[in-house]
Structure 1
Amino acid sequence: MKKAAWRKFKDYLKSLSEGQKTDGKLEIAADTTSYFIFNLSVGTSSPQNISGILDITTPLVWSQCAPCTACLPPPAPTFRPNLLPTFAGLPCASQTCQRMLNQTCAADACGYIGVYGDDTNTTGYLATDTFTFDNVSVPMVFGCSGASTGEFSDASGIFGFSRRPLSLVSQLELSWFSYFDNATRMKNSLSTPLLTSDLYPEFYFVNLTGIRVDDNKDLGDIPAGTFDFRANGSGGVFLSTTMPVTFLEEVAYVVKKELASKIESQGPQRANGSALGLDLSEALAGVRRRQRGDEAPNYFFPDNNTGLECLTILPSPAGVSLSLLGSLLQTGRTMTYDIIDEQLIFEAAAAPPGHSVSSLLMAFPLAVWMILF
């Protein structure tokens, strides 16, 4: 993991805790270190595909559009709205623009700015067109970006799955969605309520009641209520599909000591991880993987330059009461969001036959269990 990945999300958590939400800007949490990409079909006559990163914390569906005067060339063809007769820009006076974007208008176009942290952002205007899902066509509002900075890897945009009105989930009025296609509920599945934060109602929060190492008893050094919402609406634990790192409120970071002790008892020694932006007890030599010939658990990240296996569970910045369950702790599970009943259903699963699997969907952690009930 690049040092910038840690800094980016720490800056994002700080902005959440300090309430830095600027009018006219969509506050977005996204990182392309670990992601799941898929295509959407736009238009009815000679439809075009746009590719995007699934992001459950992003409020908008957007793609780079030609002419994109300040965009990195994406691997996929750039979306060309001028070739679609059904494409139309959203007027500034429209109710959607007035309500959602606080009149960020120029030349009667409903403009937006998406801020991702560091120097990553996107700007464009809202538009409407018809999206087709199998044989079902649906009119959608989406973003057409003419300028983007940062790296979006193999995607031309971001597909927001948050609770906000312009997300894919809200516009399609989905009753549920899952990271796997055609996922079915199995007898061994578990569920936990999806919670809503008063401060950040767009995110998917869960009730984290404890942490175990190697399925032993819950860590007793974590004070009761550490992961609960506070009276002022702060606190809580939410999920991300785009940030691989898990952040725990600082008082809950005793999990680091338990993991270090467990791993060192199996042979590996602590290493100096300062060059990676980590402290001594967050970087461990990758002995276990090489000695035993198996893959390191996915709460570790291998740094090819140093040969270290780096723990990807980090403390939230000082003064930040939010915690986040990153994508690495979700991998190897079918994660189903039941919007109607407000439940998160999760179970061990493999990808459906014939479907490719991104790095987001490979293995579930063997030694760290987040207890959700």
Structure 2
Amino acid sequence: MRRDQYEAQADSTGKSQAQRFIEAVQRSNERAAYYTQKLSPSAFGSQEFQSPVKAGNGEYLMTLTLGSPPQTFDVIVDTGSDLNWVQCLPCRVCYQQPGPKFDPSKSSSFQKTSCADNLCNALPVKACAANVCQYQYTYGDQSNTNGDLAFETISFNSGGGDQHVPNFAFGCGTQNLGTFAGAAGLVGLGRGPLSLNSQLSSTFANKFSYCLVSLNSAAASPLTFGSVASAANIQYTPIVENPKHPTYYYVQLNSIEVGGQPLNLAPSVFSIDQATGRGGTIIDSGTTITMLTMPAYNAVLKAYQSFVKYPMVDGSAYGLDMCFNIAGVANPSVPDMVFKFQGADYELLAQNLFVLVDASATTLCFAMGGSQGFSIIGNIQQQNHLVIYDLEAKKIGFAIADC
């Protein structure tokens, strides 16, 4: 890990990278708390399409093109939700976004969805007014979007040139509140019927992959739908079914190693309670830091505290539990971690585990948190890994890569 990986520059809002990271950690904690509550009892041939993935304020963005003629937007990529939406005119309550909002009046292919449509019935919260399907969608950090469910033409560029797919369902959001700054909306890549990948499954062979650059990077990496990338070292783990919560990508995490040493964890720590749907492990691009169920998290903290000999400092200002003072250390060294999934070893290098959080680059913090009852693999831990979602074969593949 090099000190020059940390950049203290401000963004267009005047916030430094450290400030943006603190906010991203807070959103991860809020998202985990929301999941804890939610997961408790209560006519085209196969094509390929790539969109550049860009690092945002703790999330990743892709380009979405809607309408006739096309209107283009940068939207957050989220594998933990299903609804695709953009801010729409006329706005009742909208946050400030770069570029114009979607204007339905300028598209000849825009059509509102009726209340009887199957995709309207797939919404978790819906209403009906004048036979128009209306939605309300809330995210883990309590950000939310409200508006009309509509059909529109989605456009993309494949190897065969521009393609236009009609009748793509999306949310035309006219009341949107929360932490979406820097994006015009969101693309849901979950397993439910409303997600982009589900709606276009026949077009793109029910597969997609991404390779996330560092959040500090100005570079972009492709989010690929259809023929996914390949690498010699790809390992696959099955997607685990959780009938109580079918949107999420569950995988079976069996154990964790730190510095080559297995942690003493009972297998039940990562299991799903079949009666309630609680527990398990989710892969989620929309959460910034990994949140481990508390028994696993405490064991990981203990292991790193025994391995890392730098002085510990208070990390509460950054929302993190384990930080070290590395002043005067040119190249800090920390042990790697391995998530032992069913059939796949997922290796986490220093860049996936620790972040420099201050402008002086002297405070090195562990980029994970604790969660009640279940675990989320966040996007920092997915950086510089090729992640493949083969939904036809119901498996997820991993390989270390230079994204």
TM interval, short-chain normalised: 0.7 to 0.9
- CA–CA distance in 1 between the matches of 2:209 and 2:262? 29
- CA–CA distance in 2 between the matches of 1:342 and 1:287? 46
1:176 counterpart letter in structure 2: K
CA gap of 1:69–1:103, structure 2 versus 1, over 3 A, is closer
Determine what percentage of the aligned residue pairs are the same residue: 30
Assess if the C-alpha contact under 8 Å between 2:31 and 2:139 holds in 1: no
- CA–CA distance in 2 between the matches of 1:184 and 1:93? 39
Residue 310 of structure 1 is matched in structure 2 by: 365
Residue 227 of structure 1 is matched in structure 2 by: 270
CA gap of 1:15–1:255, structure 2 versus 1, over 3 A, is same
For 1:176, which of 202, 207, 215 is the aligned residue?
Answer: 207
Larger mean CA deviation between 52-61 and 294-303 belongs to 294-303
SS at match of 2:144: strand
SS at match of 2:86: strand
Deviations 1:271-319, CA, capped at 9 Å, x for gaps: 122333444xx2222448x4227996332233226852221222213xx
SS at match of 2:352: coil
Residue 97 of structure 1 is matched in structure 2 by: 120
Say whether residues 1:136 and 2:163 are aligned partners: yes
Residue 31 of structure 2 is matched in structure 1 by: 9
SS at match of 1:132: strand
For 2:284, which of 240, 247, 256 is the aligned residue?
Answer: 240
Assess if the C-alpha contact under 8 Å between 1:51 and 1:76 holds in 2: no
2:176 counterpart letter in structure 1: S
- CA–CA distance in 1 between the matches of 2:152 and 2:230? 33
Residue 324 of structure 1 is matched in structure 2 by: 376
SS at match of 1:70: coil
For 2:100, which of 77, 85, 108 is the aligned residue?
Answer: 77
- CA–CA distance in 1 between the matches of 2:198 and 2:182? 25
Bigger fraction of residues in strand:
2
CA gap of 1:298–1:338, structure 2 versus 1, over 3 A, is same
Give the TM-score, by structure 2 length: 0.75
TM-fit CA distance, 1:87: 0.5
TM-fit CA distance, 1:82: 0.6
Assess if the C-alpha contact under 8 Å between 2:31 and 2:141 holds in 1: no
- CA–CA distance in 2 between the matches of 1:286 and 1:108? 61
Alignment gaps of 5+ in structure 1? 21-31, 352-373
Larger mean CA deviation between 305-314 and 243-252 belongs to 305-314
Residue 198 of structure 1 is matched in structure 2 by: 243
- CA–CA distance in 2 between the matches of 1:206 and 1:213? 20
SS at match of 1:255: helix
SS at match of 2:99: coil
TM-fit CA distance, 1:263: 1.6
CA gap of 1:188–1:119, structure 2 versus 1, over 3 A, is closer
Residue 366 of structure 1 is matched in structure 2 by: none
- CA–CA distance in 2 between the matches of 1:316 and 1:274? 16
- CA–CA distance in 2 between the matches of 1:102 and 1:326? 26
Say whether residues 1:300 and 2:300 are aligned partners: no
Instruction: Give the alignment of 1:204-283 within 5 angstroms.
Output: 204-214=249-259, 216-219=260-263, 221-232=264-275, 233-253=277-297, 254-264=299-309, 268-279=310-321, 282-283=322-323
1:224 counterpart letter in structure 2: P
Deviations 1:102-153, CA, capped at 9 Å, x for gaps: 6512233211111124552111110001111222221201110001112223
1:302 counterpart letter in structure 2: L
Residue 345 of structure 2 is matched in structure 1 by: none
Assess if the C-alpha contact under 8 Å between 1:190 and 1:345 holds in 2: yes
SS at match of 1:234: coil
Residue 29 of structure 1 is matched in structure 2 by: none
Assess if the C-alpha contact under 8 Å between 1:272 and 1:283 holds in 2: yes
Question: Paired residues, what number?
Answer: 329
- CA–CA distance in 2 between the matches of 1:18 and 1:36? 28
Assess if the C-alpha contact under 8 Å between 2:258 and 2:303 holds in 1: yes
TM-fit CA distance, 1:6: 4.8
Say whether residues 1:107 and 2:151 are aligned partners: no
- CA–CA distance in 1 between the matches of 2:29 and 2:394? 32
CA gap of 1:13–1:114, structure 2 versus 1, over 3 A, is same
Larger mean CA deviation between 296-305 and 150-159 belongs to 296-305
Residue 39 of structure 1 is matched in structure 2 by: 63
Assess if the C-alpha contact under 8 Å between 2:33 and 2:371 holds in 1: no
TM-fit CA distance, 1:162: 0.3
SS at match of 1:170: helix
Give the TM-score, by structure 1 length: 0.81
Residue 154 of structure 1 is matched in structure 2 by: 182
Assess if the C-alpha contact under 8 Å between 1:299 and 1:329 holds in 2: yes
Assess if the C-alpha contact under 8 Å between 1:333 and 1:349 holds in 2: yes
Q: What is the aligned-residue RMSD (CA, Å)?
A: 2.4
2:253 counterpart letter in structure 1: L
Alignment gaps of 5+ in structure 2? 1-20, 43-55, 212-221, 334-348
CA gap of 1:210–1:95, structure 2 versus 1, over 3 A, is closer
Residue 285 of structure 1 is matched in structure 2 by: 325
